[in-house]
Structures are given as C-alpha cells and as structure tokens.
Structure 1
Amino acid sequence: MRTNPGAALTTGSSTWAQGLDVIVEGAAVRVTDRHTLQRLPDAYEDKYGSEWHFDVGDGVFVSGGNAAAVFRIEPAKVLAFAKQPHAQTRYRFTTR
C-alpha cells in the first residue's frame, strides 16, 4: 500500500432482484489517531457484542496478541447498482 495506495471497497447483497451494490474506489489511508481508532471497536462491540472486542494499541487494533493496521478509503469514485428496478449511477469526488 506504500507504493500503490489504490483500493476498492465493495458491499451489497447477494440477491439478484433486491438491494443495492456499492463500490468505493480511492486511496487507502492509514488511520493512527487513537480517538478515531477507538470509535471503530466501540461501534463493533455495540452492534455485535463482546465477541468483536478489540483494544487500541499504538496506532493499531490489538486482539489476542495480534496487531492489525487500520485503513480508510479516501473516495475518488463511487459506483452504485440498484436492483429491481435495475439502475446504476456514478459519483466522482474532487479535492479543492
């Protein structure tokens, strides 16, 4: 990611005729701010319970002796695909 920060994040539903699929393309940016990092495991645990507990270490998530870096995507383009009725749209982001 240091030499090529380009990334894509996809989410959606596995049904053919319902839901929305979304693709976010942009640059992966490392998150190291303790306050920002803490918001994520708090939200995971609120939603999924204590099985999704992570501690925040020095710029990383820590769980069971393992550390994981956290990244966010700075969006450049978002594609959205609607199902039933089928439709698609594209959003582009520019920096000013």
Structure 2
Amino acid sequence: MSEWGVPSVQAVVKVGDTVSDIREGRNAGVRSLGVLEGSSVMGITQAAYETLSAEKKQAALDRARQMFLEAGADDVLLNIEQLPAWIQAND
C-alpha cells in the first residue's frame, strides 16, 4: 500500500459480488462492499433476472443484500455504477 501512496487500510475498499469477496475484505481489515446486480449470490443469470417481475426482482435483491450484510459487508450497492458516488460520500 505504501508503494501506491495509500496511507492505511482504512483508505482501502474491497468491492465484490460474492460472500467470499466480503469475507476476504473483512479478513484484510478493509471496508467491504457487496454489489447486487450481476452477483452470483443472487443465484440466477442476468437473463433470468431481467425476466422477473418487479416484485420478484426486489425479493431477490433483498435476499442477496441480507447475505452480504450477514457476511460482514459495510454496505451494499445495487450496481457498480454506484461506486464512485459511494467513495465520494465515504472518503
């Protein structure tokens, strides 16, 4: 980290779409974020997700969000496009 000018582990964020990603970040002592859309945690393909009703999509997102939080995620993003705003808000 020092080679890249990163002052501490508090300045590092591990972003992932699996429970293992979240656990890796927690074990490393860095903030960990889960990403819902496209996540294998949802247990369905993107094509199958897109065919779901709004109610079923929300239920799948809620289940995946809970799994990330139970694994120790500091926060959960709907998609990776939300990451820059999250970093700015939490820097």
Q: What TM-score do the two structures reach when normalised by structure 2?
A: 0.25
Larger proportion of strand: 1
Structure number with larger C-alpha Rg: 1
Q: What TM-score do the two structures reach when normalised by structure 1?
A: 0.24
